[in-house]
A and B are shown apart, each in its own frame.
Chain A
Amino acid sequence: MESRLRIFLLKLVCTLVLAGILHGCSYLRVDDAPNDDTDPVISPELERRTITEADIDSEDFEVGAFVGVMSIEDFGSNVVYGARGAYHITEDFFAEAAIGRTKAGDTSFETLSGGAQVLTDSQRKLTYYNLSLGYNILPGEAFIGKGHAFNSALYLIAGVGNTEFADDSHFTVNVGAGYRFLVNDGVALHVDFRDHIFKSDLLGNNKTTHNLEGTAGISFFF
């Protein structure tokens, strides 16, 4: 009786062990399967019919701020500050929108005459916005020391915009050049020189004025 029970228990244990082994094998087989699949079947002649739209972080937009000096023709130079946004259309071209603000100083007439004022204080505020197209004419790398290389580009830029000055809007053409230095893929430092050209009749006759601006800025890609 006792031996029969023992045999029964042994059988039970054997069955369980066997079942366990088989189960383990099936797991192994499941594990093996994807390993086989990851070996890519490479056939360059394969017809390109499957489209997988990969969700890849695209960093073509750039926003930033800048500060510098702007000279307003006849009104001296003053601090200018503003914001800038750009969209990189291709590796060569980018579209840029910028807004900037500065304040006019005194004309030489005002300085010499003593008290006479051509403009009131609020009229001396100058605000501009512009829409421009830039071209990366000299893309390259800048080296700092032996072990560091940074991407950079010298770009030419031109555009149109509006300058609000002395209670009047002026159609403004801007041309210039700048240097973009990429600290890493996401952050860039800028140095930018621009000529803002608009017609003004503020001092009697209507003339074309050149308003030079030099700025330094930082921008972020996203």
Chain B
Amino acid sequence: MRLFAALLVLVQCLFSRMVLAEEQYFTVVVAEPYLELHTGPGRGYPVFHVVDRGDEIEVIKRHTDWFKVRTARGKKGWAKRADMQQTLTTTGEPTQFANAGFDDFSQRRWEGGILAGDFDGGDLISAYVSFAMTQNLAIELSASQMFGDFSDAVIGTVNLVAQPFPEWRLSPFLSLGTGFIYTDPNVTLIDESDRTEQISSVGMGVRWYLTRRFLLRAEYKNHVIFQNKDDNQEINEWKAGFAFFF
């Protein structure tokens, strides 16, 4: 009996802690005449409930531009960001949720993307992460893999990217980079061995802001590989792909 009571107390403790945890959700007040709740995080999901003006709702989580909310009566549904933007905090201040719009494109900090293209006649896949130090200047880490007729290569570079017009929707940029290239000649060529060399590049490209946190990117780079032979090798690289920022 005592054990049962102890268990009951424990369960109650757990429950009360759960209640406490639930109370920590951010609460907003509906300020527009009504707020629509959808059954899922997407524009096509049907509206199944309407929250009236003045009612409080708790914000449970976010998925892309949709917020899962809970009404005072315990109804859970998804509200879109544009509607959430029209709510007030419990103290009456307008709310502002992190947007993924064009304004944020010029204010972005982190950007990542995937590109494919041509590297001196070979196919190229490239992925990058970029951090904007200022609106105009970003530092970028890029990793690429090249598949050529005579050799395959892995390229890793650090780039400095200057974007003179960050507020343009179609925004050009210049880049300057350095790194290494690991070349693995194909098995049929016997007199060549694996090698790692330094590579430097100068390039230009363009970003095209598409929608929300999504953009297209195309660029050209002129590489110089510092080879152990007498001549340095010059290589042209073209690539295009998509990127997103957050």
Contacts and interface: CB of A to CB of B under 8 A. Distances in A.
B213 A90 contact: yes
Given A42-B53, A141-B39, A162-B147, A52 B96 contact: yes
Interface string B36-53: 000111111100000001
A131 interface: yes
A51 B96 contact: yes
Contacts of B242: 95, 133
Given A54-B97, A59-B62, A95-B244, A42 B31 contact: yes
B91 interface: yes
A56 B39 contact: no
Contact of A53 (B98, B114, B214): B98
A91 B65 CA distance: 7
A167 interface: yes
A149 interface: yes
Most chain A Cβ neighbours within 10 Å, of B53, B90, B94, B213: B94
A217 interface: no
Interface stretch (A14-22, A99-107, A168-176): A168-176
B230 interface: no
A2 interface: no
B63 interface: yes
B187 interface: yes
Nearest to B215: A89
Interface residues of A, number: 46
Interface stretch (A23-31, A33-41, A70-78, A208-216): A33-41
Nearest to B88: A40
B231 interface: no
A91 B66 contact: yes
By size class, the interface of chain B is 35 or more
B116 interface: yes
A159 B26 CA distance: 38
B147 to A, nearest CB: 4
Contact of B62 (A42, A46, A57, A149): A57
Contacts of B60: 57
Contacts of A185: 61, 63, 68
Contact of B54 (A42, A54, A90, A139): A42
B127 to A, nearest CB: 6
A58 to B, nearest CB: 4
Report which residue of B32, B43, B45, B53 has the largest number of chain A beta carbons within 10 angstroms of its beta carbon. Answer: B45
A131 B114 contact: yes
Interface in A108-144: 131, 133, 136, 139-141
B89 interface: yes
A168 B186 contact: yes
B145 interface: yes
Given A54-B97, A91-B42, A141-B40, A171 B89 contact: no
Given A58-B61, A91-B43, A91-B64, 17 more contacts: A37-B91, A40-B88, A41-B92, A42-B29, A50-B96, A60-B63, A60-B64, A89-B64, A89-B214, A89-B244, A90-B211, A90-B214, A91-B63, A131-B127, A140-B44, A170-B147, A171-B125
29 contacts: A40-B54, A40-B92, A41-B92, A42-B88, A42-B92, A51-B96, A53-B96, A54-B59, A56-B62, A56-B67, A57-B60, A57-B62, A58-B61, A58-B62, A58-B63, A87-B244, A90-B64, A93-B214, A95-B112, A139-B44, A140-B44, A149-B39, A151-B40, A151-B45, A161-B125, A167-B187, A169-B147, A169-B184, A221-B63
